[in-house]
Amino acid sequence: MTDSSPPAHSLYEEMGLVQIVELDPEGRASIEYEAREAQCHSGGVVQGGFVTGWIDAAMAHAAMAKNGQHKVPMTLEMKVSFFAPARPGIVLAEGWVERHGRRTSFYEGHLKASDGTIIAKASSTMLLMDTVKVLAASKAAREGDMQ
């Protein structure tokens, strides 16, 4: 399944989302981002938090594609290895399920430059939470902040 239109959400805009290239119900996702100068530190290198966020988002989208809208993937642990600098331009984040469990799953992903060079790889342990419970907890937290 391919959805080329970016969702209307400020987080996606901040991250530089260009398009969601693939959402496969087998547990794969590909997302294209535009790395921008504003995301760089010294020497025109994209700050590692953006690289990490792009791969994390791809793994989360892979989990959502596999588990549907009734589950929210929550990252419990994530390890990232950086191999090359990310520079301004188009990058592709890909994520896939490595091992699927009922409540806890393991995902892997990587970020590639437009020439196919692997910039970074990651692995993640995710807790699959019930969407209704996550939304209820979020609402309760917001209401508590208003008091």
pLDDT band at 42 (very low <50, low <70, confident <90, very high): confident
- What is the rounded CA–CA span in Å between residue 65 and residue 58? 10
For range 92-108, the mean pLDDT: 96
DSSP state of 83: -
- What is the rounded CA–CA span in Å between residue 31 and residue 53? 12
Nearest to 127 by CA among 69, 56, 63, 52: 63
Percent of the chain scoring above 90 in pLDDT: 81
**C-alpha pair distances (Å), 121 with each of 38, 81, 91, 100, 146:** 23, 5, 13, 19, 40
For range 119-129, the mean pLDDT: 97
pLDDT of residue 4: 53
pLDDT of residue 145: 72
Helices (H) and strands (E) counted in the chain, each on its own, are 3, 8
Q: Where are the domains of the chain?
A: 10-146
pLDDT > 90? residue 90: yes
Fold type of domain 10-146: Thiol Ester Dehydrase; Chain A (3.10.129)
pLDDT band at 10 (very low <50, low <70, confident <90, very high): confident
pTM over 0.95: no
pLDDT of residue 62: 98
More confidently predicted of 42 and 122: 122
Q: Is 8 helix (H, G, I), strand (E, B) or coil?
A: coil
Q: Which residues pair with 129 in a beta bridge?
A: 72
* Cβ contact 112:49 at 8 Å: no
For range 18-43, the mean pLDDT: 96
For range 27-34, the mean pLDDT: 98
